[in-house]
Structure 1
């Protein structure tokens, strides 16, 4: 996924009220940028760290910028939770994910029962529903999800089990927007119900694909799959 307009460099002053951040731009001005990540972000917040923001497309929007990424541990960490869906959609469409190659028809935001999944793919052999989650939390070498309790995430897992039960392919893709990790797992201490439901889903045929994304101010692209442990 390439950024449509050039990003603007700045420095993080603070994040507050979950959805707001104060950013000091290189010209010395201080702007308020929208933060799309509603989680705690406790392992990807570092005051005075370099950041990039994007200008808002809608001139009527209250916040004129969106916070895109932060530089920590010698690498960029993507914090915009709106991007992973598009990243996976483009990657499946272009056959860039090894385990999700070979689909001739790919769509975004497709409903199944009372849930809406991020990506739907099919060919003449199978139908596949894909749910995408953004991962930014880190503990040692682990990338963990979620970083806050997610009842919506639990619901998606249960619906994916129903997809599999009806004979279709069901896949959870975790896009890890940081490179300083080597394995993935559920954040059991944060949301034990989600962790237990993910294990149940996997045991019932739901596939798990954790992917590290290479984040840069020019683009975000899938780099590699890493192992997961439940």
Structure 2
């Protein structure tokens, strides 16, 4: 981590995923004890069978919470490996990482520096993630497909069909409309691992509808950017960001 990194209030702890119990819960072993832990993503993580994978967890400060830990990241390394590489799976946390770097000038080549950063701004029928100066910014953190190489020992599951949400279509449409009154609008696709460059590997069941909405927004001037972060027990570092050609 460097001095500009997002720092956790307490270092994440390493554990092992025993199994995914449900949409919001994973059973994990932490320091030899079995815990029910919060799963921050309701969808799948690639086509991984998460059982047996190393994980990083944050501990809640609320002693009454039923799931005292949240699974923040998983690794494709073996349990005994040192210096593991991690794949962040907390999609809500991605907005906190982005905000940290927006406020501290980490995205100056994308939105400049020194602009006021406002969270959750209502636009039309949508609530978008950020308004930075005169630029609306919406953050997406896809996990349905992981653009990483799986080692031979990693277990996978048959990929099930998925649908891009109506919320995404609504937000990308509002981003395009925002250009009538604002200088810029950006869709920032984030990965909490080093993704080489976002590609549509597997089409959603409503791909044509989503593609049409994205194409229209690009025609109106919405910019597509990508940001890669690295997560470690101490914090999160912005590795690189760049404008995508779609």
The partner residue of 1:13 within 3, 10, 18 is 18
Count the aligned residue pairs: 221
Q: Look up the SS of the partner of 2:189 in the other structure.
A: strand
Kept in 1, the 8 Å contact 2:25–2:37? The answer is yes
Q: Look up the SS of the partner of 1:183 in the other structure.
A: coil
Please give the residue correspondences for 1:158-173 in structure 2 after superposition, counting only pairs within 5 Å: 158-173=173-188
Please give the alpha-carbon distance, in whole angstroms, between the structure 2 residues aligned to 1:115 and 1:171.
15
Residue 131 of structure 2 corresponds to residue 120 of structure 1: yes
* Structure 2 gap segments, 5+ residues each: 1-5, 78-83, 150-161
Please give the residue correspondences for 1:72-151 in structure 2 after superposition, counting only pairs within 5 Å: 72=76, 75-97=85-107, 98-122=109-133, 127-138=134-145, 140=147, 148-151=163-166
Hey, which of these two has a bigger chunk of strand by percent? 1
Please give the alpha-carbon distance, in whole angstroms, between the structure 2 residues aligned to 1:128 and 1:202.
15
Residue 40 of structure 2: aligned partner: 36
Higher mean alpha-carbon deviation, 68-77 vs 41-50, is at 41-50
Measured after TM superposition, the shift of residue 132 of structure 1 is 0.7
Distance 1:221 1:162, change over 3 A: same
Please give the alpha-carbon distance, in whole angstroms, between the structure 2 residues aligned to 1:7 and 1:71.
14
Q: Look up the SS of the partner of 2:101 in the other structure.
A: helix
Kept in 1, the 8 Å contact 2:187–2:223? The answer is yes
Kept in 1, the 8 Å contact 2:11–2:235? The answer is no
Distance 1:96 1:140, change over 3 A: closer
The partner residue of 1:182 within 196, 201, 220 is 196
* Structure 1 gap segments, 5+ residues each: none
CA root-mean-square deviation: 2.3
Segments ≥4 residues shifted beyond 6 Å: none
Residue 62 of structure 2 corresponds to residue 48 of structure 1: no
